[in-house]
Amino acid sequence: MNLLLAGLDHTTAPVEIRERLAFNATDIPAALLQLTMPRGHRPPLFSEAVILSTCNRVELYGVSSETSTAQSLASFLAEFHGLDEKHFVHTLFFVNGESVAHHLCATSSGLRSLVLGEAQIQGQVRTAFEIAQQAGTVGPVLHRLFQHALTAGKRVRHETELGQGAASVSQAGVMLARQRLGQLQGRSVLLVGSGEVSELAAQNLLANGADRLMIVNRTLAHGRELANRYGAEALTFDELPSALVRADIVISSTSAPVPIIYHQHVADAMHAKAETRHHEGAPPSMLLIDLAVPRDIATDVAQLPGVHVCTVDDLHEVVRHTLDHRAEVSELAESISNAEVEAFLGWMRTQDAVPTLTSLRDYAESLRSSELDRALRRLSSLSPEQRVVVEALSRSIVNKLLHSPTRRLRDAAAQGDGQRYAAMLSDLFNLEHANAVGERG
């Protein structure tokens, strides 16, 4: 099996590296084409390819060629992102063969997520698959593999309790805010971005007592839609500095390729807070939770007094509390994932039978066609309608004769015994000789 996976995730690389190798959705089609196009006189790295890029992982899935090596894929990542390999190559992992199917099905099921059982990952896997389909880089193997992976994720969500508790990065972020600050009631919370992460954060903030929400988004209409659903205040992106002044907690989750909250933004906000709250005695503070990769908040913001910045990597302290409960149900989730892997592998094994079945069909069609022509020459008085009936009869007889050996070969291949049955069929029908004659004829 020539499946190959190259990638890195939250277990191998910190956010500082993941954000530099992350693929923006608009860049993925070009990257997919680079992976699947010939390079000079060299064949493409992959004949089929899908790129999965989330806040916690960057993974290249492909059907490999002879040029697909760990070095060639590391070089691709370096060249595409304009980086030196030495800064990230030690964080990469490489998986091949059946293990790729196990990895993807487990990933889609939430078993490899930072937040075990998170529901968002299945949507991210689906989006990656759809982008690759639109780019024309999905063939029969990855199409079948991703279908089984998506089925695994859907079954795990519906048939297990794995997603209970902090089952998303957004939920974990809100739990982190509660751990750091205690009750959220009366706290002013600023959400930056209006995507799924922000929506889940809004739901969980309200469920945890927060009642003063602001939403800043580059597209005001989108921000207003989200704000209207959750009783929040929608602000334009130009109002971000003034919103920071009012915020006790900031949760940011945009898809911006560069930081959007800088040192000066927060420094000015903290200064304004100090001036308006000097009568309260206690110095102002602000908790900023950056759930974006690449990060939305510049790294030097954390140097400001009274400012606490957390990234997705800091969610480990929250996630740790949910693992004990989920360990009890993860075995069932793993069994579901493994069942979908076995279904995919069974399909892959049937593909070993395709060449023999094709040869058998071609041989049978050749015999049918030649015998039909001979018969029709002798039956020259037949009407066109009668000729159609005779031809249909010949096709029906051939199909019925081939049905049983075709079915038996496919079943045997699915059970791993396809090569033996294929050899028997090839020998019984002398297919190698028949094909050689057909090629000469």
User: d(Cα 112, Cα 10) in Å, to the nearest integer?
Assistant: 9
> Taking 60 as the threshold, does the pLDDT of residue 165 lie above it?
no
pLDDT tens, residue by residue, 82-124: 999 999 999 999 999 999 999 999 999 999 988 888 888 999 9
Bridging pattern class, strands 3-9 and 93-96 = antiparallel
Please tell me which residue, 132 or 207, carries the higher pLDDT value: 132
For CA atoms 384, 385, 386, 390, the dihedral sign is positive
The pLDDT value recorded for residue 78 is 97
> Taking 70 as the threshold, does the pLDDT of residue 64 lie above it?
yes
Q: Which two tokens stand for residue 368?
A: 């049918």
Residue 364 phi/psi, 5-degree rounding, is: -65, -40
404 three-state secondary structure: helix
Q: Which two tokens stand for residue 154?
A: 């859907």
User: d(Cα 21, Cα 15) in Å, to the nearest integer?
Assistant: 10
Report the length, in residues, of the chain: 441
The pLDDT value recorded for residue 168 is 79
Q: Residue 175: enclosing H or E segment and its boundaries?
A: helix 169-181
The pLDDT value recorded for residue 85 is 95
Decide if 346 contacts 323 (C-beta within 8 A).
Answer: no
pLDDT tens, residue by residue, 371-429: 989 898 888 888 989 989 998 999 999 889 888 887 877 777 777 666 777 777 777 77
Neighbours of 324 (CB within 10 A): 8
pLDDT tens, residue by residue, 276-333: 766 566 678 999 999 999 999 999 999 999 999 999 998 887 776 666 666 667 888 9
pLDDT tens, residue by residue, 119-164: 889 999 999 999 999 999 999 999 999 999 999 999 998 888 876 6
Mean pLDDT for the chain overall: 88
Residue 235 phi/psi, 5-degree rounding, is: -130, 155
The pLDDT value recorded for residue 440 is 47
* Non-local CB neighbours of 265 within 8 Å, separated by 6+ positions: 240, 241, 244, 301
At 353, the pLDDT band (50, 70, 90 cuts) reads low
**397, amino acid identity:** I
Q: What percent of the chain has pLDDT over 70?
A: 92
Q: What is the DSSP letter of 297?
A: B
Nearest Cα neighbor of 135 from 34, 21, 40, 5 is 34
Bridging pattern class, strands 46-53 and 57-64 = antiparallel
User: d(Cα 69, Cα 295) in Å, to the nearest integer?
Assistant: 30
Decide if 118 contacts 169 (C-beta within 8 A).
Answer: yes
Please tell me which residue, 68 or 14, carries the higher pLDDT value: 14
**Mean pLDDT on 254-260:** 93
**Mean pLDDT on 342-346:** 90
Does 294 sit behind a cis peptide bond, omega within 30 degrees of 0 on the bond before it? yes
Q: Which two tokens stand for residue 20?
A: 């530099």
* DSSP secondary structure string for all residues of 95-158: EETHHHHHHHHHHHTTTTSSSTT-SHHHHHHHHHHHHHHHHT---HHHHHHHHHHHHHHHHHHH
Active site residue 55: yes
User: d(Cα 155, Cα 167) in Å, to the nearest integer?
Assistant: 16
From its phi and psi, is residue 95 left (phi > 0), alpha (psi between -120 and 50) or beta? beta
Q: Residue 93: enclosing H or E segment and its boundaries?
A: strand 93-96
Catalytic, out of 21, 55, 226, 298: 55
The pLDDT value recorded for residue 287 is 95
Q: Which two tokens stand for residue 107?
A: 């990933």
User: d(Cα 316, Cα 172) in Å, to the nearest integer?
Assistant: 9
> Taking 70 as the threshold, does the pLDDT of residue 441 lie above it?
no
Which domains, from first to last, does the chain contain? 3-165+326-350 (3.30.460.30), 169-319 (3.40.50.720), 352-435 (no CATH)
